[in-house]
């Protein structure tokens, strides 16, 4: 089972979006994106997940499955 961080990284790479660009699109800090992808922030808020999902044009389910 993939972690949320692995899913974010995979989906971001599939769309050729840098961590910096994702942070700007989602209006979250670059540090947050990095920590999520490294699984150093295992319990992101629902608001953060919504912002990332919207920025990647996917559903929250795609992030957490």
Range of the domain at 51: 4-64
pTM attached to this predicted model: 0.91
Residues 4-13 have pLDDT tens digits of 999 999 999 9
Whole-angstrom distance, CA of residue 46 vs CA of residue 15: 22
What residues have CB less than 8 Å from 12, skipping those under 6 apart? 18, 19, 22, 37, 56
Q: What pLDDT does 43 receive? A: 83
Structural domain total, the chain: 1
Residues 22-46 have pLDDT tens digits of 999 999 999 999 999 998 887 889 9
**Residue 19 CA neighbour count, 13 Å, CB half:** 13
Question: Any idea what the CATH number is for the domain that residue 40 is in?
Answer: 1.10.260.40
């Amino acid at each position: 089972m993939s972690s949320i961080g692995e899913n974010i990284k995979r989906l971001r790479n599939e769309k050729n979006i840098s961590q910096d660009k994702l942070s700007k699109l989602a209006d979250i800090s670059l540090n947050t994106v990095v920590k999520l992808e490294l699984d150093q922030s295992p319990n992101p808020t629902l608001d953060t997940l919504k912002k990332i999902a919207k920025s990647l044009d996917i559903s929250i389910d795609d992030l957490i499955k």
